[in-house]
Amino acid sequence: MAFQKVEVQFNGQPLTIETGKMARQADGAVVITYGDTKVLCTVVSARKMREGQDFFPLTVNYQEKFYAGGKIPGSFFRRERGTTERETLICRLIDRPMRPLFPKGYMFETQIMPTVISADMINDPDTLSMVAASAAVAVSDIPFEGPIAAVRVGRVEGKLVANPTNEQRTQSDLEIVVSGSKDAVMMVEGEAEFLSESEMLDAIFFGHEALQPLIAAQSELAKLVGIAKREFVVAETDAELKGKVTELAESRIVDAVKIRTKQERYAALADNRTAVQAQLAEAYPDRAGEIGAILGSLEKRVVRQMVTKDRIRIDGRDMTTIRPISCEIGVLPRAHGSALFTRGETQALVATTLGTSSDEQRMDNVQGMEFKKFMLHYNFPPFCVGETSMRLFPGRREIGHGMLAERSAAKILPKHEDFPYTIRIVSDVLESNGSSSMASVCGASLSLMDAGVPVKEPIAGIAMGLIKEGDDVAILSDILGDEDHLGDMDFKVTGSANGVTALQMDIKISGVTKDIMRQALDQARAGRVHILGEMAKAIDKPRADLSQYAPRITSIKVKSDQVRTVIGSGGKNVRGIIEATGCAIDIQDDGTIHIASADGEAAKRAIKMIRDLTQEAEVGKLYMGTVRKIMEFGAFVEIYPGTDGLVHVSELAKERVKAVTDVINEGDQVLVKCIGIDKQGKIKLSRKEALGENLPTEG
């Protein structure tokens, strides 16, 4: 392939896409450059399809090389390890808008590998990798109904910005990634500070407009390369067999899908499949796979027609009704906060744990070391859908759902300086029939309030669905698992009654219009408000006190130049306080000190020990000190731990003293007065002037 390159101005700086220079044995390879950030993306698709393949095996493996940022990995072997959480999330960002655009029936194993090879810490490589993935397929011979592109949208001082810099992102009250084709939005994911539905919609379509130059650049590059797309054969369905299956199965499917409980419905559908296979086995031997595929398509068509034509859903609801909701709080006595949230046949057990700075998550990546003070972990065990598996670690789906819930809940947390806890929320899905991530958001809000975390306001989440058959459109509130599987869209929206905190949209068709998205957002808000009303019956504001088992964090402030004193040589002082009190102590460079303990008295002792270390002598004050060292010219008396002053021999007594040891000895407790502090900070003490004094003493 000959070298080709295109350039487009994007946000005032050039963005280039080139091919034919690197990774030339891949089916498609591009390098995208924006600023000093570079992403190499390759794609390879198998020439032969696996026997019996009935789905599109697309894999996206995104990786950030540490050398891209001039770093050496911090792992023991000093190599990039397995896929990080950040890389997993970006893999999903790339996969979701790409997958629907491969042609129907294309089931050849395909692997897309975006690799960050240079990172300038200004321009985030994630959206660039999404563009690179599309461009790599566009210049290859792999069939693809693209190209697509992606941008990040922020809002700084009320103005929408495409692909904001990292500095602008810190000032933005909105952050969403929008991916789309020339004509439609394909995917949306992000978070916001309680923005209205109309503001979110404006941001989404601002992003869609902003990405158009990136689509044009890919189309130009593909034209320059000029590679024809490979042809592939889609196996045609046997019309006679399809007719037989429909005749035998359709009426039973219509009856089965109206069964409202998931397990009974699945059992009825399974019985129907078994019966049809048995009835056709003799006439159509060795065609069980084909019969199964026809049955699956028939089940999908029946459900979709029932929704779009009859306006009846699988469980009998109309388009906007929310499933019955049950909320309980305080279900785990020893957890700091807990909730059991049940919506229909979806249930999440959610627990909140409060910790200290030592519990922060430390993540090493190409951008540098990151410290997370808030985490939400989502678990989807196999039993929640009545299955078994050898699952050992969370998969990409669990990580993605957890991050969506984390983004949602993060918006209601107090500022860390006001509530200096590390917070971990765990959502264990106990039952699932759709919208388990949104159940996790609701449960997280409840458990935070049960834990006494002073959240800004409660939030809830709802998953919206879409079924579109020609001009017939049905937008569904609070979708079931089957409605997600058989429908065209999964649009999750979280927030309070006052606005949106996060959203995520995935579609299986070539795009959704602005009117459909507007209706979905408005319908989601109505559902969200209803859910919040049900949640308020369990708890409507945070508890006044933390759990008795949660650590109490008290914050005090010392001068920044006293931090070294508190820590001590080699950490001696702070270790001594921790050992003496059992408290956890976190010391900031600015002099802020957080003392954490479930024992209030222990915290008070720790505070006193810190105050003793950092108190400064005042001229004219009396101190009860301890003689630490005897010299010929006087004695050094410690008035605070680590702080001592000199009592000159002339200041020991009113009469003349021949030897210091005639008056005091090492270890003696002695009342002294501070009579001066010189320019070097050395303290002058007097026993003579303290004699006969009855003023309150310190120490």
Tell me the CATH number at 670: 2.40.50.140
| Residue 570 confidence (pLDDT) above 80 | yes
Distance CA 505, CA 516 (A): 12
* Interval 3-24: pLDDT, tens: 999 999 998 899 999 999 999 9
Can you give the residue range of the structural domain that contains 372?
Answer: 325-467+507-538
* Domain co-membership, 394 together with 454: yes
Q: Which two tokens stand for residue 432?
A: 């699932």
Query: 150, 56 in Cβ contact below 8 A?
Result: no
* Domain co-membership, 341 together with 391: yes
* Domain co-membership, 602 together with 625: no
* Domain co-membership, 395 together with 462: yes
Is 247 among the domain residues? yes
H helix or E strand, kind and range, residue 505: strand 499-507
Last residue of a domain, one of 592, 614, 636: 614
* Domain co-membership, 684 together with 651: yes
Distance CA 99, CA 56 (A): 8
* Domain co-membership, 597 together with 659: no
pLDDT at 606: 93
Give the three-state DSSP class for 595: strand
Q: To 10 degrees, the CA torsion angle through 83, 85, 90, 92?
A: 90
* Domain co-membership, 412 together with 560: no
| Residue 641 confidence (pLDDT) above 80 | no
Distance CA 237, CA 54 (A): 13
Choose the weakest-confidence range: 71-75, 300-304, 471-475. Answer: 71-75
pLDDT band at 452 (very low <50, low <70, confident <90, very high): very high
Backbone angles phi, psi at 578, to 5 degrees: -65, -45
Distance CA 351, CA 428 (A): 9
Annotated binding residue at 490? yes
pLDDT band at 357 (very low <50, low <70, confident <90, very high): confident
Is 485 among the domain residues? no
> Which residues are within 8 A (CB) of 206 and not within 5 positions of it... i.e. 6 or more apart?
153, 160, 162
* Interval 453-463: pLDDT, tens: 999 999 999 99
Sign of the torsion angle spanned by Cα atoms 394, 400, 404, 410: positive
What is the number of structural domains in the chain? 5
Backbone angles phi, psi at 209, to 5 degrees: -70, -40
pLDDT at 421: 94
* Domain co-membership, 431 together with 381: yes
Is 495 among the domain residues? no
Q: Which two tokens stand for residue 312?
A: 């009846």
pLDDT band at 565 (very low <50, low <70, confident <90, very high): confident
* Domain co-membership, 512 together with 370: yes
Backbone angles phi, psi at 371, to 5 degrees: -120, 120
pLDDT at 210: 96
The secondary structure of 60-128, three-state, reads ECCEECHHHHCCCCCCCCCCCCCCCHHHHHHHHHHHHHHHHHCCCCCCCCEEEEEEEEECCCCCCHHHH
* Domain co-membership, 136 together with 282: no
| Residue 103 confidence (pLDDT) above 80 | yes
pLDDT at 212: 96
Q: Which two tokens stand for residue 106?
A: 């294309």
pLDDT band at 699 (very low <50, low <70, confident <90, very high): very low
| Residue 342 confidence (pLDDT) above 50 | yes
Query: 32, 19 in Cβ contact below 8 A?
Result: no
Query: 356, 422 in Cβ contact below 8 A?
Result: yes
| Residue 697 confidence (pLDDT) above 80 | no
| Residue 162 confidence (pLDDT) above 70 | yes
Percent of the chain with pLDDT over 90: 75
Query: 472, 308 in Cβ contact below 8 A?
Result: yes
Annotated binding residue at 315? no
